[in-house]
Amino acid sequence: MDSILFRKNIRNGNFTGQTSGECKNFVQTNVVILDKKHAYDFLVFCQRNSKPCPIIEVLDPGDFEAKITAPNSDIRFDVPKYRVFMNGKLREEINQIDSYWNKNLVTFLLGCSFSFEHELVESNFYLPYYNSSKTVPMYNTNISTIPSGDFAGNMVVTLRWIHESRIEEVVEISSKYTNSHGSPVHIGDPEKIGIKDIKNPDYGNQWINDDKNYVPVFWACGVTPQNIALSSNIDFMITHSPGHMFITDLSTRNKN
Amino acid sequence: MDSILFRKNIRNGNFTGQTSGECKNFVQTNVVILDKKHAYDFLVFCQRNSKPCPIIEVLDPGDFEAKITAPNSDIRFDVPKYRVFMNGKLREEINQIDSYWNKNLVTFLLGCSFSFEHELVESNFYLPYYNSSKTVPMYNTNISTIPSGDFAGNMVVTLRWIHESRIEEVVEISSKYTNSHGSPVHIGDPEKIGIKDIKNPDYGNQWINDDKNYVPVFWACGVTPQNIALSSNIDFMITHSPGHMFITDLSTRNKN
């Protein structure tokens, strides 16, 4: 589906699901909304941690239209589901955020691995949640980020099971999408990156593969700022709900 | 030469020249130093204009060591030549800036096309200024940037003459270096990007090629912020002098 029509469906309340598999020609993004007093530190955080937080667009303070990557969008309504964090705690999960909006809010759009999943599926990689009601499994890890101001904490990753004969291929495909997390951050051993129970993802749904020929492959994830919000006690932050992304008008064919 | 030794030579006053052709294994960067009150707008400017302003590192306010990309460096001394801008005018060109330093200054390191010139030279492209006392020609253009806060103005570009049979090759090589300006922004007609007199570069030295088989190829340039400082009347900004770059410890083999 076309990104403009898809955002309209979300705005009208006709789509509130996860977005893996949707709008296959268009770049999907994570969303982080902060008071402008935090904006500089967060932007430097993203620059220092561009693997989990590749910046696609920064809106001017108070602006709710992503003028560069999604003209006529409205970030208060065009995300299927949002999370509101207050003082390091998740306060609520809602479908629109106009009641929270004020002129000091700055919106950041960060690249998402869903943007390269279409090419994976076209190359016959199996992703059980793609175009379904389920969400990719995501985990908090022990991979530390480089702090900036109040923002500090560990990286979140997505998991995809890949046949051992096709590891090189999946690395090659995802590497091209440098602004959508690019190549994996870890291949093979969940415990090495601090994941104790692969059956219990911290976000999204369980996806287990007991076939020994399949290897768990982990990519940096734009849910990282949500983990950072929790561990850094940021006073106020709105994000998308994991898996429920904002869809831009950027073409996924421009891999950067 | 090793980047650490090279910076030491600069710090000791033993090297004050342009840096094309120096330290061939190491990423070179443009330098922009601003009061922290401008830092957020400038960082967003770089994000919106990543072709001329690809960010390599942002130092914390007051820090003069590039802790991530050049540990033990000192940005007050380790650049061969600096420019000091005040109220939209070039005030002076000096070899160290410790007299201007204060705890509110924020340093930005931006990628530089010199980082891909080594591969060009190894591929037998001719660059007359490489490893010489001359500097690549640079021009102000009519290519507008996307503004952010007070920062607005036109892009600066570098010029290299390339044989028409090798355009594709030079595009391919430079494209890999996405954090060092990547592919050219214009090929062929200087007037189309607002360059009226190719014989008079706005920065660097003249390089003319009357052989009709050679085509002028233009890359986005990290001197752009200096042009922006002039056109936007920024009250205070220190930069490197065009062509006199800061050398990091990052390997040029990591093209990103």
- Please name the member of B47, B57, B256 whose beta carbon is closest to the beta carbon of A55: B47
Residue pair A78/A246 in contact by the 8 Å Cβ criterion: yes
**Which residues from chain B sit within 8 angstroms of residue A40, using beta carbons?**
39-40, 43
pLDDT of res. A54 = 96
**Would you give the DSSP letter of residue B210?**
-
Any chain A CB within 8 A of the CB of B152?
no
Q: CA of B175: which chain A residue's CA is closest?
A: A256
- Please name the member of B39, B44, B60 whose beta carbon is closest to the beta carbon of A58: B44
Q: CA of B36: which chain A residue's CA is closest?
A: A40
3-class secondary-structure state, position A250: strand
Residue pair B91/B85 in contact by the 8 Å Cβ criterion: yes
Any chain A CB within 8 A of the CB of B55?
yes
Residue pair B196/B203 in contact by the 8 Å Cβ criterion: no
- Please name the member of A39, A40, A178 whose beta carbon is closest to the beta carbon of B178: A178
Inter-CA distances, A245 with A81, A176, A207, B234, Å: 8, 21, 20, 38
User: Structurally, what CATH architecture does the domain formed by B116-220 represent?
Assistant: 2-Layer Sandwich (3.30)
Region A204-221: what's the mean pLDDT?
Answer: 97
Residue of B55, B57, B106 to mutate when probing chain A, most A C-beta within 10 A: B55
Measured at the alpha carbon of residue A228, what is the angle toward residues A225 and A234, in degrees to the nearest 5? 100
Structure tokens at A230: 């929790």
pLDDT of res. A37 = 96
Sign of CA dihedral B76, B82, B86, B88: negative
Average pLDDT over all residues of chain A: 95
Give CA–CA dist A98/A222, Å, rounded. 23
Q: Is the whole-model pTM more than 0.95?
A: no
Residue pair B194/B140 in contact by the 8 Å Cβ criterion: yes
Angle of the B114-122 helix axis to the B167-175 helix axis, nearest 10:
130
Nearest to A174 by CA among A144, A208, A217: A217
Question: What type of residue is A151?
Answer: F
Share of chain B above pLDDT 90, in %: 93
Give CA–CA dist B16/B7, Å, rounded. 11
pLDDT digits (tens, 9 = 90+) for B5-15: 999 999 999 99
Query: Between the CA atoms of A73, A74, A80 and A85, what dihedral angle is there, to the nearest 10 degrees?
Result: 140
Nearest to A185 by CA among A46, A43, A52: A52
Provide CATH 3.40.1640.10 ranges for chain B.
3-113+229-251
Structure tokens at A152: 């500090």
pLDDT of res. B253 = 78
pLDDT digits (tens, 9 = 90+) for B3-47: 999 999 999 999 999 999 999 889 999 999 999 999 999 999 999
pLDDT of res. A255 = 55
**pLDDT > 60? residue B255:** no
Residue of B35, B43, B255 to mutate when probing chain A, most A C-beta within 10 A: B43
Region B203-227: what's the mean pLDDT?
Answer: 96
Any chain B CB within 8 A of the CB of A104?
no
Chain A nearest-CA distance from B186, in A, is 18
Region B113-120: what's the mean pLDDT?
Answer: 94
Region A49-63: what's the mean pLDDT?
Answer: 96
The yes/no answer on whether domain B3-113+229-251 falls in CATH 3.30.450.40 is no
Q: Strands A236-240 and A26-35: what pairing?
A: antiparallel
pLDDT digits (tens, 9 = 90+) for B130-171: 999 999 999 999 999 999 999 999 999 999 999 999 999 999
Provide CATH 3.30.2040.10 ranges for chain B.
116-220
Angle of the A36-48 helix axis to the A224-232 helix axis, nearest 10:
120
pLDDT of res. A163 = 97
**Which residues from chain B sit within 8 angstroms of residue A58, using beta carbons?**
44, 47-48
Give CA–CA dist A250/B168, Å, rounded. 25
pLDDT of res. A229 = 87
pLDDT digits (tens, 9 = 90+) for A150-180: 999 999 999 999 999 999 999 999 999 989 9
Cβ pair A256:B47 closer than 8 A: no
Residue of A34, A43, A174 to mutate when probing chain B, most B C-beta within 10 A: A43
CB within 8 Å of chain B, chain A residues 58-97: 58, 60, 68
Chain A nearest-CA distance from B242, in A, is 24
Nearest to A24 by CA among A180, A173, A158, A130: A130
pLDDT digits (tens, 9 = 90+) for A23-40: 988 999 999 999 999 999
